[in-house]
């Protein structure tokens, strides 16, 4: 599997998440306040809710349903009720293009 172009940087709004699906893998793509782009699994591990419909705060994405905030860097939930992490995908920026490989998850601790 290779990284695929999914979006353009210019299509992202700061502190807002966009849902994309690559090879049937749903992801939430976020441009944070520091200008960094993140891609994490879009489905909350507490319920079948799209995290991209939630709220970006700092380097977290909060599920709107019950308030678990997931780290955009590690995928770990920082508060209950979710306790399982979501995957974190490698993001490559090439000019204005955002490329993500759905088969590669960043090694998180």
Q: Would you say 66 or 106 has its CB closer to ligand FES?
A: 66
For residue 99, which phi and psi values (nearest 5 degrees)? -115, 140
Instruction: Using CB positions, name the residue nearest to ligand FES.
Output: 47
Q: C-beta of 68: minimal distance to ligand FES in Å?
A: 4
Based on CB atoms, which residue is closest to ligand FES, 18 or 51?
A: 51
Sheet holding 97-105, edge to edge: 4-8, 97-105, 88-94, 37-41, 25-31, 17-22
Q: List residues near ligand FES by CB under 6 A.
A: 44, 46-47, 49, 63, 65-66, 68, 81-82
């Amino acid at each position: 599997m290779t990284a695929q172009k999914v979006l353009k940087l210019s299509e992202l709004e700061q502190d807002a998440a966009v849902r994309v699906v690559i090879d049937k893998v749903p992801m939430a793509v976020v441009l944070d306040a520091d200008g960094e782009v993140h891609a994490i699994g879009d489905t909350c591990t507490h319920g079948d809710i799209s995290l991209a419909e939630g709220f970006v705060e700092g380097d977290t994405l909060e599920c709107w349903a019950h308030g678990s905030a997931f780290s955009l860097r590690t995928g770990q939930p920082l508060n209950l009720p979710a306790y399982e992490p979501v995957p974190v995908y490698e993001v490559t920026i090439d000019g204005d293009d955002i490329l993500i490989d759905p088969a590669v998850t960043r090694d998180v601790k």
